[in-house]
Homo-oligomer: A and B are copies of this chain.
Amino acid sequence: MTGERRRATAVDVARLAGVSQSAVSRCFTEGASVSAETRSRVLEAARRLSYRPNAIARSLTTRRTNLIGVVMGDLDGPFQPYLFETLTRGLASRGKQPLLVRGDPADALDGTAMAALDYQVDAVVVTAGSVSPAAIRGLMALGVPLLLYGRAVEADGVDSICCDNPLGARLVAQALVAAGHRRIAYLGGRPTAFSEQERGSAFRAALAELGMPLAAVGEGDYSYDSGHREALRLLAGPDRPDALFCGNDAMAFGALDAARTALGLRVPDELSIVGFDDVPMAGWPSFSLTTIRNPVEDIVATLLDMLERRLADPDAPPVLNRPAPVLVRRGSARL
């Protein structure tokens, strides 16, 4: 009952229960035809042998692994772990196993990363915002259903869901201008990232529509350090901005630290800082970050629905979903 060298198989259970291997299999298959008596005999035998069906062998015949490839970049910032946590919990609750595919630093997917896909994942969810279009095409060529998070793509057989970045950027622009800010700066994330492209251009466009020039622009990479560095640069000059919109929360934290600790600025009196994502940390008193809430929980729930629908019908028309973000007012901006 304890440390047998080999795990029990369906054949072992069948022998003990005095039935055929097929009967055992049917007891563990939803909706199969087994009599109540056989089932209980089999389950009892299975219990005694600590038998559990071999998912590997099962998937060989069913052509379903219940493994979902999850393409992620680093878990560095506060956002990715939050998303990953939510996503993996959701997958588990629907009986699916996430299989991690790490994007490499160059945003490509090398052999090591692709190795995970050799496990015959039923679908692939891409959450790394920076995976190159070429890599995406490579995934599509696999013939596996593909779900893109964090980028909006119109392509055959690819579903995507992505927070309405332009709306979020517009909300910030309007709120900042309405509150009387006049020297508004923007600190962008990694320029190759889809979200950056949308947020940056929408923010510029919204300000232009309001007749407000953009006072200064910085280029970060979504990391705390880059936010710190760029904020120092942007806020050092003579015509210091009175508001700074950052492409994500991590950079906003860096900017906040730079402004308060390194430059001795009072936030939000002398400088308003706004982030994007609303990670859990944004609510911590030391930050109290005013930011745009990226509705991760809703997004993941929707994403899982899209996934199930796609698995049920691989030929259904592709879906594009753009949930709306919302402005969360806290203490880092005078709004």
Binds B, one of A96-104, A178-186, A204-212: A96-104
Distance in angstroms from A104 CB to nearest chain B CB is: 10
Residue of B nearest to A6 (CB): B143
- Number of A residues, CB within 8 Å of B: 67
Query: Is A40 an interface residue when CB atoms closer than 8 A count as contact?
Result: no
- Please determine whether B97 and A143 come into contact, CB atoms closer than 8 angstroms: no
Query: Is A89 an interface residue when CB atoms closer than 8 A count as contact?
Result: yes
- Please determine whether A143 and B55 come into contact, CB atoms closer than 8 angstroms: no
* Cα distance, A55 to B116, chains bound together (Å): 9
Query: Is A4 an interface residue when CB atoms closer than 8 A count as contact?
Result: yes
In-complex Cβ contact of A97 among B80, B115, B120, B286 (8 A) = B115
Residue of B nearest to A104 (CB): B92
In-complex Cβ contact of A286 among B4, B81, B88, B286 (8 A) = B286
- Please determine whether B75 and A224 come into contact, CB atoms closer than 8 angstroms: no
Against B, the Cβ 8 Å flags (1 = close, 0 = not) of A272-287 are 0000000011001111
Q: Which B residues touch A258, using CB under 8 A?
A: 285
Q: Which B residues touch A93, using CB under 8 A?
A: 112
* Cα distance, A53 to B253, chains bound together (Å): 45
Distance in angstroms from A154 CB to nearest chain B CB is: 17
Q: Which B residues touch A116, using CB under 8 A?
A: 97
Stoichiometry, as copies per complex, reads 2
In-complex Cβ contact of A55 among B75, B78, B120 (8 A) = B120
Q: Which B residues touch A84, using CB under 8 A?
A: 75, 81
Q: Can you list 10 A-B contacts (CB < 8 A)?
A: A3-B141, A3-B143, A7-B120, A55-B115, A76-B280, A78-B78, A92-B112, A97-B119, A254-B284, A286-B286
Query: Is A261 an interface residue when CB atoms closer than 8 A count as contact?
Result: yes
Query: Is A57 an interface residue when CB atoms closer than 8 A count as contact?
Result: yes
Query: Is A159 an interface residue when CB atoms closer than 8 A count as contact?
Result: no
Q: Which B residues touch A36, using CB under 8 A?
A: none
- Please determine whether A102 and B88 come into contact, CB atoms closer than 8 angstroms: yes
* Cα distance, A187 to B117, chains bound together (Å): 45
- Please determine whether B54 and A57 come into contact, CB atoms closer than 8 angstroms: no
Query: Is A30 an interface residue when CB atoms closer than 8 A count as contact?
Result: no
Distance in angstroms from A112 CB to nearest chain B CB is: 6
- Please determine whether B4 and A143 come into contact, CB atoms closer than 8 angstroms: yes
Q: Which B residues touch A257, using CB under 8 A?
A: 284-286
Q: Which B residues touch A112, using CB under 8 A?
A: 92-93, 95
Q: Which B residues touch A2, using CB under 8 A?
A: 140-141, 143
Against B, the Cβ 8 Å flags (1 = close, 0 = not) of A286-304 are 1100000000000000000
- Please determine whether A97 and B99 come into contact, CB atoms closer than 8 angstroms: yes
Query: Is A256 an interface residue when CB atoms closer than 8 A count as contact?
Result: yes
Distance in angstroms from A79 CB to nearest chain B CB is: 10
Query: Is A32 an interface residue when CB atoms closer than 8 A count as contact?
Result: no
In the A-B complex, the 9 residue pairs with the closest CB atoms: A81-B81, A55-B118, A75-B85, A261-B285, A257-B285, A257-B286, A75-B81, A55-B119, A3-B143
Against B, the Cβ 8 Å flags (1 = close, 0 = not) of A129-159 are 0000000000011110000000000000100
Distance in angstroms from A157 CB to nearest chain B CB is: 7
* Cα distance, A78 to B78, chains bound together (Å): 8
* Cα distance, A82 to B80, chains bound together (Å): 11
